[in-house]
Chain A
Amino acid sequence: MMPDLGKYAVEVMSAYAVSLMLLALLVWVSVARGRRARSALLQAEQEVHGDG
């Protein structure tokens, strides 16, 4: 199943590993920050409405 990468296996695998790790990190950080922002807004709206 795994293709034979020959003498460049380390280069190819490390390029894929670095790139996929960075992309995953970018998506994870963006989604986590988005969720925090949603809950912070909800809380702020409740506080403002609560104050009347």
Chain B
Amino acid sequence: MSLWEYANPVKFLRLSERVLPVLWAGAGICVVGGLLWGFFATPDDYRQGSTVKIIFLHVPSALMAINAWFMMLVASLIWLVRRHHVSALAARAAAPVGAVMTVIALATGAIWGQPMWGTWWAWDPRLTAFLILFLFYLGYIALWEAIEDPDTAADLTSVLCLVGSVFAVLSRYAVQFWNQGLHQGTSVPVATGERTVSDVFFVPLVICMLGFGLLFLALVLYRTGTEIRLRRTRALLARGARSA
């Protein structure tokens, strides 16, 4: 069995019908459980007070905002190289999810920043890269809507996705590239494992990150199914119009 089998829309829909209930359930349990744990059962931070509870929304949403773009990049490359329609539709389906995650990260960051930094916004490298990433999301969604021919739209949005990947990388590593600005380094560095978050916050944070990841997967699978059905409907209606 090959992964490319799922480039077949029928097989993809059949697989997603089987997997989606598990993903929805897992996402619901982890997001609700992680947030309840984080909100009700964690103490205040000795410096940040109760604002530390915002971490359970801010970090997972920022993580998914960047990873959603990388998922779109992989799907776009598959479209450009192998011309599988499902991959182009999956990239299209992921964009609004990534855009909402970016808005949540920006909004919670601003709300958190005001009491801690004394400002809602600063032209800090990481914040600015994130804002540009959000604009790329909007541009990507608008480009899909603006072009009538789906293959041309998939081509052009794939190129836009490649360009925007620079800002997705910058959003992730801006703090390391430019050692200035207000934003701290990553709280959970995967490469070194030297996290700056205490255990009492770390466990619910990981559960929230897992929950946001599962929610992203569930939404992308579900929305890709929707895109496949809409495409099939357009094809059927066009066939009907030609034969009439």
Contact = CB atoms under 8 A, between A and B. Distances in A.
Contact of B50 (A12, A27, A47): A12
Interface SS of B by simple majority: helix
Interface of B: 31, 35, 39-40, 44, 49-51, 53-54, 57-58, 61, 96-97, 100, 103-104, 107-108, 111-112, 114-115, 215, 219, 222-223, 225-226, 229-230, 232-233, 236-237, 239-240, 243-244
A20 to B, nearest CB: 8
A38 B17 CA distance: 13
A15 B50 contact: no
Given A6-B50, A26-B97, A15 B108 contact: yes
Contact of A51 (B114, B115, B232, B240): B240
Interface residues of A, number: 33
Given A15-B107, A47-B240, A26 B100 contact: yes
Nearest to B240: A48
29 contacts: A3-B50, A5-B53, A6-B44, A8-B49, A8-B50, A11-B54, A12-B53, A14-B111, A15-B57, A15-B107, A15-B108, A15-B112, A16-B57, A18-B108, A18-B111, A19-B107, A22-B104, A23-B215, A26-B96, A26-B100, A27-B219, A30-B226, A34-B223, A37-B226, A37-B230, A40-B233, A41-B236, A51-B243, A51-B244
Contacts of A9: 50
